[in-house]
Structure 1
Amino acid sequence: MLSMVGLVLAAGLAGWVDAIVGGGGLIQLPALFGAYPQAAPATLMGTNKGAAIWGTGWAASQYARRVTLRWAALGPAVAAAFVGAAGGAWLVTRLPARPLRVALPLVLLALLLYTLARKDLGQHHAPRFAGRAEAAWASVLGGLIGLYDGAFGPGTGSFFVFAGVRWLGYDFLHASAHAKLLNAATNLAALAWFGTRGHIWWAVALPMAVANVAGSWLGTRTALRHGTGFVRGVFVAVVGALIFKTGWDAAGVLGWR
């Protein structure tokens, strides 16, 4: 019972963080591993997706109602992200995860330093592309990050946000809004893969999903009220936490701790 209460609280906080800038898995997945240390990792990852997709979907619907989205580019990108995530889920059974685990904190650190160095990054919404060019680039980014999410996962929401800001020219608020729909697509692909293989504990996932949606509702309202400067600040904090977490994991892989 106490474990379930802790998981519900963690899911609520994860939904708040994820709705603003992504990275809710940084909170929710470790909570599951802590509550069920003997469970199969695939089952805990599937349960995490089973809880998280509802909050991500809720946030996506709320942003779609309140932020002007670039649907001509977003539609193909969502499809590419779904296919990429499905391919990544298949690929993870064929390739070792060790190189990704070692490289990830370095990639995140480079992303964080670039964001901090560019004070104006993501402050203004000035899309770099239009029409087919925007759809093509958004699809390439959606497919590549979707592939990463299916194969590995940590920081996917943050990668979507950064790609929208740095490459597509969106501000942080619009990038986060677009990232929610892309992340919902990758979560759906992963959910289908885990679900068909019996790797979801729905009795655990559904109470967490309710809390995740509640946190997502609050997070969406917070982001919309405070705007792009607030989203940028949360982005920096979440990426910093991801660097610490993935760096700690990489140290274990390399035998440094």
Structure 2
Amino acid sequence: MIIEQLSLLLISLLANGLSAMAGGGAGLLQLPVLLFLGLSFSSALATHKIASVALGIGATLRHLREKSLDLRFCLFILASGLPGVVLGGILILRLPESLTIFCLGLLTTGLGVYSIFKPQLGLTHQPRNRDRRGLYLGGVVLCLIGILNGSLTSGTGLFVTIWLVRWFGLDYKTAVAYVLILVGLFWNGFGALTVALQQPPHWEWLPALIAGAIIGAYTGTHIALKKGNSVIKRAFETLTILVGIKLIADGLLLF
């Protein structure tokens, strides 16, 4: 029992620390471990989603010291994404997942490759597309990503990060701050509630996972803020490619 709890704690520390640096991807390590330890997919999903809310808590504790977020833009991201999160959480336990996971893997890998071939992407903060048309189109995409966030487990925070950078002109450090707080805390919170109401989590494992997530997220966020955009960009590119390859492999296994 003690070894099991320590293993969960360490995995959660590592997964959420990396996720806090890159702006998503905690499910890359955490969910497969829960499945390997014997949980069903639905139970592992509910457990992971609840634990992932702690990622937002840990990141929020660190980012509150920076005071760098625009409240109106925060509300826009929440209003755009939360309906999709709830819809995705309702759909996930009713839809076949193999093709969706495979396609998501291809898209996620593409994000990392795209960022690599755009050396200056996300290194400077140049806000754009804040007019009515830009916000409408940006909000539609955020809603679609919200559906993926509510229904799947790995990489969707990375999609929000690259969208905030590419469409709205944020630098990586600012984009990751929005993602870790709004996606990590609020999107994941609504998604966790939606899934947990349909499938109970494995409550005995949650304390270790939540503790690891809070500590890992705070530490990863602190490192990212100190190192700056170039390090966050490299972390993002590395993790998107790793997450993408894993999702492609998972999708192929499910066919």
Q: Is TM (by shorter chain) over 0.5?
A: yes
Query: Residue 58 of structure 1 aligns to which amino acid in structure 2?
Result: G
In structure 1, the partner of 2:85 is 85
- Deviation, structure 1 residue 60: 3.0
In structure 1, the partner of 2:224 is 223
TM-score scaled by length of structure 1:
0.90
Worse-superposed segment, 212-221 or 132-141: 132-141
In structure 1, the partner of 2:142 is 142
Q: Distance in 2 between matches of 1:102 and 1:211?
A: 29
Structure 1 residues 216 and 78: alpha-carbon distance in aligned structure 2, compared to 1, 3 A threshold = same
Structure 2 stretches of 5 or more lacking a match? none
Q: Distance in 2 between matches of 1:23 and 1:43?
A: 19
- Deviation, structure 1 residue 147: 0.7
Structure 1 residues 141 and 65: alpha-carbon distance in aligned structure 2, compared to 1, 3 A threshold = farther
- Deviation, structure 1 residue 57: 2.5
- Deviation, structure 1 residue 151: 1.9
Structure 1 residues 131 and 202: alpha-carbon distance in aligned structure 2, compared to 1, 3 A threshold = farther
- Deviation, structure 1 residue 101: 1.9
| Contact kept in structure 2, 1:50 and 1:206, CA below 8 Å | no
Per-residue displacement from partner, 1:216-236 (whole Å, max 9, x unpaired)? Answer: 111111011001111001101
Query: Residue 5 of structure 1 aligns to which amino acid in structure 2?
Result: L
Classify the secondary structure of the residue corresponding to 2:28.
helix
Question: Given the alignment, which residue of 28, 31, 53 partners 2:30?
Answer: 28
Q: Distance in 2 between matches of 1:74 and 1:136?
A: 15
The percent identity for this pair of structures is: 26
Structure 1 residues 182 and 132: alpha-carbon distance in aligned structure 2, compared to 1, 3 A threshold = farther
Classify the secondary structure of the residue corresponding to 1:193.
helix
Worse-superposed segment, 222-231 or 19-28: 19-28
| Contact kept in structure 1, 2:56 and 2:182, CA below 8 Å | no
- Deviation, structure 1 residue 81: 1.7
| Contact kept in structure 2, 1:73 and 1:139, CA below 8 Å | no
Query: Residue 16 of structure 1 aligns to which amino acid in structure 2?
Result: G
TM-score scaled by length of structure 2:
0.91
In structure 1, the partner of 2:75 is 75
| Contact kept in structure 2, 1:88 and 1:146, CA below 8 Å | yes
In structure 2, the partner of 1:200 is 201
Task: Find out whether 1:4 has 2:5 as its counterpart.
Answer: yes
Question: Following superposition of structure 1 onto structure 2, how do residues 107-122 of structure 1 map, counting pairs within 5 Å?
Answer: 107-122=107-122
- Deviation, structure 1 residue 253: 3.0
In structure 2, the partner of 1:181 is 181
Query: Residue 106 of structure 2 aligns to which amino acid in structure 1?
Result: L
In structure 1, the partner of 2:168 is 168
Worse-superposed segment, 195-204 or 6-15: 195-204
Q: Distance in 1 between matches of 2:194 and 2:48?
A: 13
In structure 2, the partner of 1:190 is 191
Report how many residues are paired.
252
Q: Distance in 1 between matches of 2:200 and 2:130?
A: 41
Per-residue displacement from partner, 1:109-157 (whole Å, max 9, x unpaired)? Answer: 3222211111101111101133655654453233111111112232011
In structure 2, the partner of 1:212 is 213
Worse-superposed segment, 78-87 or 136-145: 136-145
| Contact kept in structure 2, 1:102 and 1:253, CA below 8 Å | no
| Contact kept in structure 1, 2:31 and 2:153, CA below 8 Å | no
- Deviation, structure 1 residue 33: 1.2
RMSD (CA atoms): 1.9
